[in-house]
Structure 1
Amino acid sequence: MEAFGEPELCFPQLLNASCVKPKRSPFEAVLTYILVSSISLLTAFLNLLVIVSISHFKQLHTSTNLLLLSLAVSDFLLAPLLPFQIMLLNGCWFLGDLMCTLYHYVVYIITLASVGTMVLLSVDCYVAVCYPLHYSAKITRRRVKICVCLCWICSVIFQSLILMKNLQQPGRYNSCIGECVIVINFIAGLADVTFSFIIPITAIIVLYMRVFVVAVSQARAMRSHIAAVSQRSTKVTAKNSEWKAARTLGVVVFAFLMCFCPYYCVSLTGKDNMNASSAAFIIILSYSNACLNPMIYALFYPWLRKSVKLILTFKILQPDSCEANLL
């Protein structure tokens, strides 16, 4: 059809009522499919390792790990939804208006819950470093469970309000059959960007900056305290502490900004005249954060490397494997 200059339709039998497929090269289409599929499989695999590790081994049933478990669950639930993004990137949605709205609704809830859990992890890290003597009293498993439940409940309520009109009448903004469009007004979009990006990233930066300052001050205090004993060794210890705090702050903030900044900047400016390649890149980049989360928040922990080894070698199936010493 394209050889004769005619546009390719999503539903050829519907003629003028069908949407027109965007023009994309076969190489670009295959590359998009491979990237989305790879991110989906890797996201599911990595987060499943975290879920199994924390759920199975009793030694890992701590307050902090409950937050890691919530983050892994949200990212794991996102993984099977990523392949549906291929239809959106190809410009043709074949599952109907209701499924289109529900797809975006579920994805937005999971994404917001994931971002909220990252904020809770920042708070947990802040209390652990800045108030270590009060950590066990302030951060209990019961409080963490309540915070996690509230995070998910608030995500559901917030996205229900943001997408209310779309949920009441699915497909109301579609201009043709095969289109999957979700439209929110400027006020709702501003609220979405504020509560889903600006406030969370501000909280994360402020908390981790405070953690960094405290870590540096503690390293300097330690260096001053034992300078007379081993000056050379102390310099190395202090330097390692400073770099560890800086690396944690940098990885957390940079990964979050790298994945979500382009998406929310486009959402905030309201630019809808992007070409298909740019839109695909921004969407894939935002979803890749679900794949990066287990590597940032979990794979840096030594206990996860030990638990993954037990899982992949099937030693987890042995009796009393849940009592294994991983710390």
Structure 2
Amino acid sequence: MEVQDRTELCFPHLPNISCRSKMYSWSGAVYLAILLSSISSFTVALNLLVIISVSHFRQLHTPTNILLLSLAVSDFLVGIMVMPGAIVLHTSCWLFGDLMCSLYNYTAFIVICSSVGDMVLISIDRYVAICDPLHYTTKITVNRVKLCVCLCWLFSALLSIVFTKNNLIQPGKYNSCHGECVIVIDNISGVVDLVLSFIIPVSLIIILYMRVFVVAVSQARAMRSHVAAVTLQVSLTITSKKSELKAARTLGILVVVYLLCFCPYYCLSLVGSKTLFSYLFELFLGMLFYFNSCMNPVIYAMFYPWFRKAIKLIVTLQILQPGSSDANIL
């Protein structure tokens, strides 16, 4: 894909202060816009199905699913707000003004931070479910999870102000010309971002899931050693443990995919090189990061039968029938 200078101005009626449109070749810009638009559309549609499923069916109002709902909301906002903005930034000029540029960057930071927080909460949820199953129902309740989700979003909004305060106070402060949307983070904010949005969350996620993996393996061996038991009590216990282990495996895949998509982009953004190769590579990793928001519902569909059943009921409009929220979805 070729990058070339164009002589067209973003604002032809402002020749002295307008940016020049520097973009991909026409065909490259079209391909990129189609690709990002397709990812954005699938992301919005699939995560909307998750939001409707968990919100509508009462059987799905569990602590773990509340966390998945919060993650789906983050992914939905990525698809409906962050991706379209990225399409504009990478294929044409920013035509929506400095204030909208600042608000766009602020919203993007909130969504990313909340997504990281959701992943940490999901890891904690699985850690307690696998490592301390006897106290799971008392420690992890729906109301406590809802409170944690609200605090996660509030913390993300407050933390994002730290990163974008200069842009919010003086929109367009770092733009060299009209038609540009630039955000600059000072050194102190960059360190805070690195520690709170990357090092600490990723470390917690990895440590918790390593512990979950060790305990899950030992529990799987214990279940195999008791497979010959025929009493109802043992049968119910084994079934319950298998369900928890399956949930841990599914959410483990979710976390691994997230880390694979999130870490490379974040690491490259810290380097900050401005060469053509690094720009194209950063664009690719950015698309990979966005694609993760589309992948999460696909993972649900692959491993959660309740999600596939919910999709069928939603698509066939059976959720519009009276009492459909009480349907047996599990």
TM normalised by structure 1 equals: 0.88
Q: SS at 2:322's partner residue?
A: coil
Deviation at 1:176, TM superposition (A): 1.1
1:264 matched to 2:273? The reply is no
Q: Deviations over 1:12-69 (max 9, x none)?
A: 2322322122241222111111111111111111111111111111111111111111
Q: SS at 2:216's partner residue?
A: helix
Bigger drift between 248-257 and 164-173 goes to: 248-257
Q: Distance in 1 between matches of 2:69 and 2:254?
A: 17
Q: Distance in 2 between matches of 1:190 and 1:248?
A: 33
Q: Distance in 2 between matches of 1:249 and 1:76?
A: 19
Q: Distance in 2 between matches of 1:6 and 1:48?
A: 39
Bigger drift between 306-315 and 145-154 goes to: 306-315
Q: SS at 1:175's partner residue?
A: coil
In the alignment, which residue of structure 2 is the partner of 1:48?
48
Alignment identity in percent? Answer: 59
Q: 1:308 aligns with which of 294, 307, 311?
A: 311
* Structure 1 segment 267-282 matched on structure 2, within 5 A: 267-274=269-276, 276-282=279-285
Q: Is the 8 A contact 2:23 2:90 kept in 1?
A: no
Q: Distance in 1 between matches of 2:311 and 2:56?
A: 12
Q: Distance in 2 between matches of 1:152 and 1:306?
A: 30
Give the aligned residue type for 2:264: P
Structure 2 residues without counterparts, runs of 5 or longer: 231-238
Q: Deviations over 1:223-242 (max 9, x none)?
A: 3345799xxxxxxx9xx99x
1:296 matched to 2:312? The reply is no
In the alignment, which residue of structure 1 is the partner of 2:32?
32
Q: Is the 8 A contact 1:205 1:253 kept in 2?
A: no
Cα gap change, 1:249 to 1:324, in 2 (>3 Å): closer
Q: SS at 1:319's partner residue?
A: coil
Give the aligned residue type for 2:224: R
Deviation at 1:75, TM superposition (A): 1.5
Q: Distance in 2 between matches of 1:162 and 1:215?
A: 39
Q: Distance in 1 between matches of 2:141 and 2:6?
A: 64
In the alignment, which residue of structure 1 is the partner of 2:60?
60
Q: RMSD in angstroms over aligned alpha carbons?
A: 2.5
Q: Distance in 1 between matches of 2:222 and 2:165?
A: 54
Q: Distance in 2 between matches of 1:270 and 1:137?
A: 46
Give the aligned residue type for 2:266: Y
Give the aligned residue type for 1:284: M
* Structure 1 segment 84-233 matched on structure 2, within 5 A: 84-226=85-227
Give the aligned residue type for 2:210: M
Q: Is the 8 A contact 2:32 2:91 kept in 1?
A: no
Deviation at 1:300, TM superposition (A): 2.1
Bigger drift between 92-101 and 74-83 goes to: 74-83
Q: Deviations over 1:194-241 (max 9, x none)?
A: 222222222111111111111110122233345799xxxxxxx9xx99
Q: SS at 1:14's partner residue?
A: coil
Give the aligned residue type for 2:218: S
Q: Distance in 2 between matches of 1:295 and 1:247?
A: 15
Q: SS at 2:329's partner residue?
A: coil
Deviation at 1:246, TM superposition (A): 9.2
TM normalised by structure 2 equals: 0.87
Q: Distance in 1 between matches of 2:52 and 2:14?
A: 48
Cα gap change, 1:279 to 1:52, in 2 (>3 Å): same
In the alignment, which residue of structure 1 is the partner of 2:22?
22
Deviation at 1:145, TM superposition (A): 1.1
Q: Is the 8 A contact 1:10 1:178 kept in 2?
A: yes
Cα gap change, 1:106 to 1:23, in 2 (>3 Å): closer
Deviation at 1:294, TM superposition (A): 2.3
In the alignment, which residue of structure 2 is the partner of 1:252?
254
In the alignment, which residue of structure 2 is the partner of 1:232?
none
Deviation at 1:7, TM superposition (A): 2.4
Q: 1:320 aligns with which of 319, 323, 330?
A: 323
Q: Distance in 2 between matches of 1:228 and 1:95?
A: 67
Q: Is the 8 A contact 1:212 1:245 kept in 2?
A: no
In the alignment, which residue of structure 2 is the partner of 1:233?
none
Q: Distance in 1 between matches of 2:247 and 2:69?
A: 23
Q: SS at 1:94's partner residue?
A: coil
Q: SS at 1:21's partner residue?
A: strand
Give the aligned residue type for 2:318: K
Q: SS at 2:21's partner residue?
A: coil
Give the aligned residue type for 2:325: C
